[in-house]
Structure 1
Amino acid sequence: MVNPPEAGPEVGEKKAIQSDKQLRRALNQWDIAFLVVGAMIGSGWLFGSLGAAATAGPAAILSWLIAGFLMIFIALAYAEIGGMLPKSGGIVRYPQYTHGGFASFIMGWAYFLSAVTVAPSEAIAAVTYMSSYLPQLMSNGLLTPLGTLVAAALVVFFFLLNWYGVHVMGKTNTAVGWWKLIIPSLTFILLMALAMHTVNYSGLAGGFIPYGWSEVFLAIPTTGIAYAYLGFRQGIDYSGEARKATDVVWGTILGYVIVMFIYVMLQVAFIGAVNWSAAKVSPGNWQALSSSVLSSGPFYEIMATSGVAILAGFAVILLIDAIISPSGTGWIYIGTTARTIYGMAADGHLPSAFLKLNRHKIPLWPTIAALVLGLLFLLPFPTWFAISSFITTTTVFTYIIGGPSLMTLRRTAPNANRPIKLPAASVIGAIATIAAFLIVYWSTFYYLWFAIALILAGLPLFYMYTMVNRYGASRTAGIVSGIIYWVVLIVATYYLIYLPFAAPTGWPASLPVTMLKLQPTHIVDFVSYVVVMIAMVVGFTLYVASTARDREIAMKHVKAGWWVVATIFSAFILSFLGSFSVFETPIIPFPWDTIIAALVALGLYLYGSYSGILTEDLVVALRELGGV
């Protein structure tokens, strides 16, 4: 390792070591693989094929392939890091090891926002499928009070399964994982054997790519495709409870490859199995499928209305799976949320009480918090597609740090033990960063503005808690700055973003989005918002850091994290300018906007890689693992 690390007053990793040692290391390679399988095969397989087909037509097959190809580079980057640093809640702890407290707080907060919403989204998906035979659970595409109650009961069940220990949840999940592999596989095999309409692939109006290439990319973050692929991270988040580091690496890769194949084949089968007369939609009108009879249960309805006895019989099994698959993902993500909170406490962003374990050796208060927050998130996002798009945006944003973290660790800890050492790591890291940035960019301004507002809303907590307790900053300065920040953020977001952009497009009730005609006032409003927010983030962060007792260390961590702030605003500005904005005629048309976004992401990758630092947390972690 190079360069001496800082020696701050409060290194969260030192407190976390004792809790880390108490975690039960009970998961083998197949348990890790089935955590990945269980997390990836959830509601995504039930709804993703319909949403993708309605957006991109038959070319949705390409959307799955492109997303799978892009995401695998992100998974590879994290596989090396996860093998080197097998830590529970790892994805929120790695930024702390490589870029210090400022970057790790932003990334940890964003990851928390995404993780906490997955369990309720899976509960919503299960209830949506149940409404195929219990229509009183849904009304106009939204959960009824009874539907919300049933979804809440499922979230409580997810909590209880986690509460009694990782060995119980892990072994249960491995058993359910086999079901999750068999049922989707049988689904595409049966459909391809008994219900194919080959004309659907290219013989209808518009051909194979009826809505253009931009819709192929748009489908990736907004229809559940990227959401379905996000589950690879579970092997990393549970890595502190794996028996060996190699189990984390190979379990993650194995699970990802298996599920990618299944998802692509499901989309191929869905496209070919669409029966236009049974769906009561004119042939080739793919967009209308989202509001057809298929919307409540895509694969179930295709099979039930196929007129083929075998498929109609199998449709009953799909109704059972519609509860099992989302539930399996839901209980994994209750655990993921708990380990995210645990990881933030290990980073020093939350009180050390969140490191406490219950008698079953799982994080006590983080698991309880995951339950409470999961129940609350049933309320603001009553539809599966809305919540999955939000989750995709916030989660993939946190993956942007994977490439820079990979290269920073290669530089700061070149001799650390690595069960897997990637060839051409700099290239893989660059592609991983570009891939994550593009998926965030493609998620559209429609969802991105809200995700970024919530990510930025977390910074006052950094001022009030982390800066004060870890770096010795003035408590008064942190509290006053945080309160002023929140007030300005709320006012600016409401008047400069929500009223001129979000409200006229119908957010969050209407899909698809109503497009706007670009007016000079739109540019004034947006530029004003960006200037105000950048000034606040930079100004308050530097001000609170300047009051720190360990000012030099605080500034060092802040400096290492500026590239994350640059990433946030770069994605936001490009989203406003490009073809995924809310304007009828974008300022930068497709594909030039995506090319520019890729080049910006490459610049951010280089910036992030060279701004990484050697932190005391990394030194402590490596010593504890015997990796130095």
Structure 2
Amino acid sequence: MDQSSPATATGRQSAADAQDHKLRRELGFWSLVAAGVGSVIGSGWLFSSMYAAQDAGPAALIAWVIAGALMLMIALVFAELGMVRPESGGLVRYPLYSNGRLAASIIGWAMWLSYVANPPSEASAVVQYASKWWHGVYSAKTSKLTALGTFVAVVLMALFVVVNYFGVKWFAKSNNIVTAVKLGIPVITVVLLLASGFGANSKAGGFSHNFSAHGFAPYGISAAFSAIASGGLIFAYTGFRNVIELSGEASNPRRDIPRAMVVTIVFSIVLYICLQLGYLGSLPGSELAHAAGWNGVNLDSPFADLAKMLGFTWLSWLLIADSSISPSGSGIVYTAANARNVFGLAKNGFFPRAVMKVSDRTGVPVVAMLVNFVLGAGLIVLLPSWHDIVEVLSALAALTFSIGSISVLVFRNVGLGGSATRLRGMTIIAPLAFAVASLVIVWQPWDTLWKTLIPIGVGLAWFAASFAIGERNKGDLAGGLWLVVYIAFIYGVGALGSFGGADIIPAPWDSVVVAVGAVLLYFWGVRAGTTYLSNHHELLVVLKEREGDDTDIIAKTQRPQG
């Protein structure tokens, strides 16, 4: 990595070091678990079961298993990265270390613009559920928030910022309490819905009836694959990444990060499969018949409405109350994590130094939080719907997560980390995670997938502009060219494939082409990253010296080259 002059590098490094040391390492294992699980139990559990069933019927269960397996593999990848290099904002820093500025520009911008959508999605979920008692905030006809609802959601996002302003310790304590409270409600919901669905009765349709009424896969198995992204399943699982975003503030990252991530993902998989089973089995047969199929079932407040249909009025009101607690708790966590994401981008040089500023009093990157708030408020005005937001976000999340699989093997190839920081089976897990993530991207309907090219284009434009004005390092091009080819390949197959594309490459051959191509491009990316990092000797030396340290090091090793 280089800058246009030594003075630029030294100045940015001094600023980064000064801000890094203000971050406070006060998050223990349970606080990290609460950050992960607290993000998972947000709006995703309230809506994803219904939208997945709309897309795929009972075959949505297949989608949850695939999505859960993918998230578990990706969590293991980032767990190892987090042990080798715990760093606040690490998700946008690892591509910079392993493959240079071109790769980091694309992934960094896409990651930021996708993650900044989390607090708006949580706020919109709160308002949508609140429409059960607060009429006028949500329109069932358009399935969008009204002007009043949008205003309320923006105010709620502002409250997320206020909670985080008082520091990571205050955030951790409040989030631990909120997470403990809201854990019980989905568990109670699962138990009651599963119990009601074991046999058909006057209210619940039952598993035997509902699974056979329109067939297990009424819209084809390919619909189950599409549901992974379009149904919000990837979005529902993404809470685990907040453990990594906050890793620079972990008191014992090597011990706690992998354990917290695995606990978060395993809990999520079990919870969401049980919720989906409960939804599929307990939906009244009359409701399914009236809707003429799963894709016609459209409930404003899915589980609350379902509880009321089944006669669990008290549970219905409990769910309405929780619809404010769960998404709000997740919104608070995402606001904290996203601020660290922008903090990392600022250290990368993608934002002005002012965005890097950490409050002397609270140890929080306040400016970064405000930047996210402004962009998030604009997003909720443009997309005043939970489903609209998460459709685009899910495809971007799969893309941005996949890069970690490259970084983890690059780090190993150049000798970063030792036996204590290496997880077994990673040489198989990493490429497999990359291939499955690539499939999830191309399984997204094309009319949604193409929209994700916008943030990717912004990242490319930013890199091109910085390269043109003198921040040049030929290693950046070689280290990141594979990613440009990979994106062109994936989106090209998406445009020509069977998931809403031209169907020139029919199913299942579009998936086969992507899987094979992704594996080949994966090893190109690893080789390119290994060459890049091996050629940046000063960076590699400092990385090895500071394994487990979260102080900024990129600028320390930057020198003008060519």
**Fold in common (TM above 0.5):** yes
Partner of 1:324: 325
Q: Distance in 1 between matches of 2:186 and 2:444?
A: 27
For 2:271, which of 262, 265, 282 is the aligned residue?
Answer: 262
Q: Unpaired segments of 5 or more residues in structure 1?
A: 468-472, 475-546
Partner of 2:376: 374
1:230-265 deviation line (CA, Å, top 9, x unaligned): 111010000001001121121111111112110110
Partner of 1:144: 146
Q: What is the CA distance between 1:179 and its match in structure 2?
A: 2.4
Partner of 1:85: 85
The alignment status of 1:219 with 2:221, answered yes or no, reads no
Aligned ranges for residues 324-403 of structure 1 at < 5 Å?
A: 324-358=325-359, 359-403=361-405
Q: What is the CA distance between 1:457 and its match in structure 2?
A: 2.3
1:306-342 deviation line (CA, Å, top 9, x unaligned): 1x3xx21111110011111111111111122211110
Partner of 1:274: 283
1:530-583 deviation line (CA, Å, top 9, x unaligned): xxxxxxxxxxxxxxxxx55xx5xx111121011111121111101011111344
Q: What is the CA distance between 1:198 and its match in structure 2?
A: 2.2
Partner of 2:22: 22
1:125-180 deviation line (CA, Å, top 9, x unaligned): 11111112223111221111111111011100111011111111112111111223
Contact 2:197 2:207 in 1 (8 A): no
Letter in 2 for 1:404: I
Contact 2:71 2:265 in 1 (8 A): no
Q: Distance in 2 between matches of 1:461 and 1:166?
A: 32
Partner of 2:161: 159
* Other structure's SS at 2:116 match: helix
Q: Distance in 2 between matches of 1:182 and 1:304?
A: 19
Partner of 1:175: 177
Letter in 2 for 1:228: A
Q: What is the CA distance between 1:51 and its match in structure 2?
A: 0.4
Letter in 2 for 1:560: G
Letter in 2 for 1:169: F
Q: Distance in 1 between matches of 2:541 and 2:395?
A: 32
1:13-59 deviation line (CA, Å, top 9, x unaligned): 66433322221111111111111111112111000000011111111
Aligned ranges for residues 427-576 of structure 1 at < 5 Å?
A: 427-464=428-465, 466-467=466-467, 474=469, 551=472, 554-576=473-495
Aligned ranges for residues 30-69 of structure 1 at < 5 Å?
A: 30-69=30-69
Q: What is the CA distance between 1:594 and its match in structure 2?
A: 0.9
Contact 2:196 2:281 in 1 (8 A): no
For 2:518, which of 593, 601, 604 is the aligned residue?
Answer: 601
For 1:230, which of 228, 238, 258 is the aligned residue?
Answer: 238
Letter in 2 for 1:577: L
Q: What is the CA distance between 1:617 and its match in structure 2?
A: 4.8
Q: Distance in 1 between matches of 2:33 and 2:378?
A: 30
Q: Distance in 1 between matches of 2:93 and 2:29?
A: 22
Q: What is the CA distance between 1:444 and its match in structure 2?
A: 2.0
* Other structure's SS at 2:179 match: helix
Q: What is the CA distance between 1:619 and its match in structure 2?
A: 4.2
Q: Distance in 2 between matches of 1:29 and 1:70?
A: 23
Q: Distance in 1 between matches of 2:456 and 2:68?
A: 26
Q: What is the CA distance between 1:419 and its match in structure 2?
A: 4.5
Letter in 2 for 1:225: L
Contact 2:28 2:256 in 1 (8 A): yes
Q: What is the CA distance between 1:204 and its match in structure 2?
A: 1.1
Q: What is the CA distance between 1:183 and its match in structure 2?
A: 0.9
* Other structure's SS at 2:117 match: helix
Partner of 2:315: 314
Q: Distance in 1 between matches of 2:209 and 2:518?
A: 37
Q: Distance in 2 between matches of 1:320 and 1:187?
A: 13
* Other structure's SS at 2:498 match: coil
Contact 1:98 1:618 in 2 (8 A): no
For 1:581, which of 469, 493, 500 is the aligned residue?
Answer: 500
Q: Distance in 2 between matches of 1:13 and 1:425?
A: 33
Q: Distance in 2 between matches of 1:401 and 1:70?
A: 14
Q: Distance in 2 between matches of 1:145 and 1:252?
A: 38
Change (3 A) 1:427 1:201: farther
Q: Mean alpha-carbon deviation: is it higher for 112-121 or for 416-425?
A: 416-425
Q: Distance in 1 between matches of 2:13 and 2:423?
A: 26
Contact 1:13 1:347 in 2 (8 A): no
Letter in 1 for 2:434: T
Contact 2:122 2:331 in 1 (8 A): yes
Partner of 1:288: 296
Partner of 1:498: none
Q: What is the CA distance between 1:398 and its match in structure 2?
A: 0.8
Contact 2:194 2:278 in 1 (8 A): yes
Contact 2:406 2:525 in 1 (8 A): yes
Q: Distance in 1 between matches of 2:25 and 2:490?
A: 39
The alignment status of 1:72 with 2:72, answered yes or no, reads yes
Q: Mean alpha-carbon deviation: is it higher for 602-611 or for 13-22?
A: 13-22
Change (3 A) 1:114 1:626: closer
Q: What is the CA distance between 1:447 and its match in structure 2?
A: 1.4
Q: Unpaired segments of 5 or more residues in structure 2?
A: 199-205, 554-562
Q: Mean alpha-carbon deviation: is it higher for 43-52 or for 566-575?
A: 566-575
Q: Distance in 1 between matches of 2:525 and 2:404?
A: 10
Contact 1:198 1:272 in 2 (8 A): yes
> Greater RCO between the two (CA within 8 Å, min separation 6)?
2
Residue-pair matches, total: 530
Contact 1:159 1:367 in 2 (8 A): yes
Q: What is the CA distance between 1:200 and its match in structure 2?
A: 3.8
Contact 1:43 1:125 in 2 (8 A): yes
Q: Distance in 2 between matches of 1:21 and 1:417?
A: 26
**Aligned-pair RMSD on alpha carbons?**
2.1
Partner of 2:201: none
